[in-house]
Amino acid sequence: MKLTILGGGGFRVPLVYGALLADHGEGRVTEVVLHDPDDRRLRAVSRVLAEQAEGVPDAPVVAATTDLDEALRGAGFVFSAIRVGGLEGRAADERIALAAGVLGQETVGAGGIAYGLRTVPVAVDIARRVARLAPDAWVINFTNPAGLVTEAMARHLGDRVIGICDSPVGLGRRIARVLGADPKHAFVDYVGLNHLGWVRALRVAGRDELPRLLGDPALLGSFEEGRLFGADWLRSLGAIPNEYLHYYYFNRETVRAYQRAERTRGAFLRDQQARFYAEAADPGVSALRAWDRTRAEREATYMAENRESAGAGEREEEDLSGGYEKVALALMRAIARDERATLILNVRNRSTLRVLDADAVVEVPCLVDAGGAHPLAADPLPGHATGLVCAVKDVERQVLSAAESGSRATAVKAFALHPLVDSVNVARRLVDEYAAAHPGLGYLK
Ligand code: G6P
Ligand code: MN
């Protein structure tokens, strides 16, 4: 089985390869093709993978190329984890939004819209090529903003593209842990859009254990989301939100915290990764060790400003190991071996959330088998959550429409309609400044 990784020179590729190395089952990936426009990044990551494979007799063979079509031909699975505009682009997204007084996160609010506007045209081009060159391949999209990008690709690939994120899995795992439940036997009733969802129940043998958590302030204070949102607010909501909802419910505080930070997340990662790629090019250095050190630092500082503004303290040891690669591998296995699994994924809605149309990509528990990911029926969201989901989905639709038509006015509408952008004038300023900063937005007229 051939797996193609787009964004193959990316920093998180060794996580995926590490998971593949531990898979010795039938139908496993035997060949990995890394694609990236940047040859230097490909060389650095290839060195890390070679060190990871040392002493593993059935390690998947790795090849690297800068030719997209060659990478796609013959692929059984395509992982897409690209970053259009690089981390410099992410830093600019943040800087411009924060200077205008609004959030500059890569997936939420103004920053997410800017990133979406320059990523969608590239993702659509990839989807068209996959449809032509590898029509039977399954595309697993990690590229952020993951829900929006998956929807853009689904217009060309239908249900053959599935979006993934590790936040809901991490949340479900943490809730199960504090409740003393085995995550493998717990059903997490999580519904929403990517980075905009809520856990409404955690069922073990048919019984909902979440009320026990919501009724116990000590338990609520013992895990990441509990500390981030605070016990009182979680009890008021009667649900546990995805960590990214911290940017909504505590918007003023998070905007201020990021404005005051010495560097934004994107700027921090840009500098950190520049050091890693330079180190990994040095033949005297272990690329794997340099990567592992960099990874640990990245994970420890994830959402640091949010945690600081909420007084939530450091991340817990168990939360540092990610899980992104595990979701990807579990999904691929369920499809390739027809091993039924329930996973929270980004797929087309069908009739899951009645307030959205069938083609809207949502993030919900799905039953996965050789036929792909099938969303499970879900109870409707309460009014406040429905309102947010509908507003943000409409913003995503404006982004898709602006990317298709090249209309600057539609791009302004996308920003202006976002619940975290507080004035049409701010939206106009954002479009002007983003268009001036990003060559990838040159299509907006
Ligand atoms: C979480 C999110 C991902 C994001 C990742 C890394 O896992 O769900 O969407 O890519 O964190 O965030 P970072 O700020 O380190 O790039
Ligand atoms: Mn995510």
User: Can you tell me the distance from the alpha carbon of 197 to that of 200, in angstroms, rounded to the nearest whole number?
Assistant: 9
C-alpha 326 – ligand 2 centre gap (Å): 13
Residue from 83, 106, 228, 319 whose mutation best tests the ligand 1 pocket (most atoms within 8 A of CB): 106
Which pLDDT value is given to residue 188?
A: 98
pLDDT in the model for residue 323: 84
Atom 3, ligand 1: residue with shortest CA distance: 165
Residues with CB under 6 A from ligand 1: 144, 165-167, 265, 269, 298, 302, 324
What are the CA-CA distances from residue 374 to residues 93, 170, 213, 249, 368 (Å)?
34, 21, 29, 31, 6
Ranges under pLDDT 70 in the chain = 322
Pairing of strands 31-35, 2-6: parallel
Q: How far is the CA of 58 from the centre of ligand 1 (A)?
A: 30
Ligand nearest to the CA of residue 322, numbered in listed order: 1
Amino acid 318: pLDDT: 87
For residue 322, what pLDDT is reported? 67
pLDDT of residue 324: 86
Nearest CA to ligand 1 atom 10: 144
pLDDT tens track for 377-403: 999 999 999 999 999 999 999 999 999
Ligand 2: centre distance to CA 164 (Å): 7
Q: What is the pTM of this model?
A: 0.98
- Strand pairing partners for 187? 203
User: What element of type H or E holds 54?
Assistant: none
CA of 106 to the centre of ligand 1 (A): 9
- Torsion from C-alpha of 107, 110, 116, 118, nearest 10 degrees: -130
Q: Which amino acid, 62?
A: V
